[in-house]
Chain A
Amino acid sequence: MIGGLSIVFLMTALLTVAGTLAAALLRNLVHCALSLTVTFAGLALLYLQLDAQFAGFAQILVYIGAVAILVVFAILLTRGAGIPEYRSYGSNWFAGLAIAAAVFALLTWAVMKSFPATAAVASSPAATVQSIGAALMSTYVLPLEIVAILLTVALIGAVIVAMPEAKVSNSLTEKAGER
């Protein structure tokens, strides 16, 4: 324990922050995406340390297994992910730094205010999969259904955007082929 925080937590936090910094500062886009994956992994480890098993594994499954792949596919199919020829730091970096510091201060204040006065005793995970499932199906069923509809809409939209539009020429080639 160093300064009240366990060594494992410090290592995980270091890994997460390093991944995030790399994701923001590296020049090669695919390297940035892969560093973001390291960040996701660090977050999952943090969830696991807090005994939130479901959240941790779901983080790996969803973020690393799907979102990271999505990000790299997006980079691949749009930019061609070479080394950029220009520097990616604009001239108004000071304003960006100020805004980031302000957001960080706000988040820290919110977190510190919500801390309970007594230290939490480590107990068996209260958020078992069963309780999460029961809560999803009873108290939180409306958000679940809305998220499901949102995902379906996104899926249909992606299919429509990617569908080939040549319906007319298809029938022409069919007729020619039958001859």
Chain B
Amino acid sequence: MSFFSDLDQVFVLLQHWIAGLFPVWLQPVVATILGVIAIVAAFPGIFAVTTVLERKGLGRIQNRLGPNRVGPLGILQPVADGIKSLTKEDIVPLSADAVVHFLAPVVLVVAVFLGFAVLPIGRNMVLADLDGGLLFFFAIGASTELSIFMAGWSSRNKYSLLGAMRAVAQMISYEVPLLLSSVVVVMITGSLSTVKIVEAQGGFTGVLPHWYVFTPWGFAGFALFTVAALAETNRSPFDLPEGESELVAGYFTEYSGFKFALFFLGEYLGMFSIAGFAITLFLGGWGAPFSFLGFVPSWAWFFLKLLGAIAFFIWLRGTLPRLRQDQLMNFAWKFMLPMALLNLLVAGAWRFMGEGWLRWVIAIVILIGAYVLLGRTLMRKQKLGARSYRYAD
């Protein structure tokens, strides 16, 4: 089995070999730079593939073919898109604040790339094993909101400003359930370090893994985290700030050419990093789903799970209609926040009740009961059904 463990660690071995070619005092720097190069090369590559997959997937969901002209089955479409965005004229409005207008996509992309530093992509394959890795990730994620505001404000365009304010309000509101639903994992694991969280999910009972998503509080936390992650990255059905039919293109409006491509890249990379985080926290990171599949390399599992998450996001995008701003905010503050707090309670009870079937029953009953009750209460206030208009009859 040495071949499989070598395959598992092939990137780490490669990194060590290349770093070994340099003098000793330079080796840590070189090793880190190699890791950075790997991240900067791999994830934009996945971004390119995702754009094609998304367009073709959405097309097939909508009973049409996606792009299929550039390259076989259209897989070279990102190359065409890249060439187009690079050769477009870069228009900066005359009254726009040039410095801030230029810096906004830069800040976004930098912040998003920083978030990849604490993601454990495989066994021993994390760029920075920080003690407070989770906190670092969320801190950097909070900085992306600033770049969106900068983009919207510097364009001197009321549609951009409206879109930016809506986007920032949405992101701030959904950060609270995002953080609370990930605190559950920290509570049970006892550490903020992403590496330790993945290792804590590494055991197997029989064939089944110890992933947190297979526990009641973990499932609820995963659902809450996913919904909040969709809202954080402005992804359908929470894409009101950038909906083309709503606000032209929201805070993107005054950007053209490469800056638009940078924003697009930043958004999708943010989606990948937060999906990767959801995988790390709840889906066992680079762990195999069944004990007998342990020979498949750890980084392969991570990317397979990431692909599954991306496919699910694309599926959601093709299915759900856009949420209105007030519906968004109500959902965040009135439904997700109480559920996240209740989840904390349930996880605490789980931790201190000890092993056995009792804690499963109690956790499931509390969570499902709360879900149904909250759902019923909130839906009662809605006046759904046929609308009556004041003057139209």
Using a CB–CB distance below 8 Å, which chain A residues touch chain B? 28, 30-31, 34, 37, 53-54, 57-58, 60-61, 64-66, 68-69, 72-73, 76, 81, 125, 128-130, 176-178
Size of chain B's interface in residues, with CB distance under 8 A? 29
Contact assessment for A60 and B150 in the assembled complex, using a CB-CB cutoff below 8 Å: no
Contact assessment for A64 and B100 in the assembled complex, using a CB-CB cutoff below 8 Å: no
Cα distance A64–B147 in the bound complex, in angstroms: 11
Q: Nearest-CB distance from B270 to chain A (Å)?
A: 14
Cα distance A130–B190 in the bound complex, in angstroms: 8
Q: What's the A-B contact tally at a CB cutoff of 8 Å? A: 70
Contact assessment for B132 and A30 in the assembled complex, using a CB-CB cutoff below 8 Å: no
Task: Mark interface residues in B301-338 (1 if CB within 8 Å of A CB, else 0).
Answer: 00000000000000000000000000000000000000
Among listed B7-15, B77-85, B138-146, B349-357, interface-contacting one: B138-146
Cα distance A57–B37 in the bound complex, in angstroms: 24
Contact assessment for B139 and A61 in the assembled complex, using a CB-CB cutoff below 8 Å: yes
With A125-B131, A177-B388 already in contact, the answer to whether A69 and B139 are too (CB < 8 A) is no
Contact assessment for B132 and A54 in the assembled complex, using a CB-CB cutoff below 8 Å: yes
Contact assessment for A61 and B153 in the assembled complex, using a CB-CB cutoff below 8 Å: no
Q: Nearest-CB distance from B127 to chain A (Å)?
A: 16
Contact assessment for B131 and A177 in the assembled complex, using a CB-CB cutoff below 8 Å: no
Q: 3 tightest CB-CB pairs across the interface, nearest first?
A: A65-B142, A60-B139, A61-B139
List 8 A-B residue pairs with CB atoms under 8 Å apart, sorted by A's residue number: A30-B97, A37-B146, A53-B132, A58-B139, A61-B135, A68-B146, A125-B131, A129-B191
Contact assessment for A69 and B168 in the assembled complex, using a CB-CB cutoff below 8 Å: yes
Cα distance A68–B161 in the bound complex, in angstroms: 17
Contact assessment for A69 and B172 in the assembled complex, using a CB-CB cutoff below 8 Å: yes
Contacts of B102 in A (CB 8 A): none
Cα distance A70–B310 in the bound complex, in angstroms: 33
Contacts of A53 in B (CB 8 A): 130-132
With A30-B100, A177-B390 already in contact, the answer to whether A65 and B131 are too (CB < 8 A) is no
- Judge whether B165 is part of the interface by a CB distance below 8 angstroms: yes
Cα distance A64–B161 in the bound complex, in angstroms: 20
Cα distance A53–B135 in the bound complex, in angstroms: 9
Cα distance A65–B99 in the bound complex, in angstroms: 21
Q: Nearest-CB distance from A25 to chain B (Å)?
A: 16
Cα distance A58–B130 in the bound complex, in angstroms: 14
With A30-B153, A76-B165 already in contact, the answer to whether A61 and B100 are too (CB < 8 A) is no
Cα distance A104–B390 in the bound complex, in angstroms: 66
- Judge whether B192 is part of the interface by a CB distance below 8 angstroms: yes
Contact assessment for B132 and A129 in the assembled complex, using a CB-CB cutoff below 8 Å: yes
Contact assessment for A65 and B145 in the assembled complex, using a CB-CB cutoff below 8 Å: yes
Cα distance A95–B161 in the bound complex, in angstroms: 39
- Judge whether B174 is part of the interface by a CB distance below 8 angstroms: no
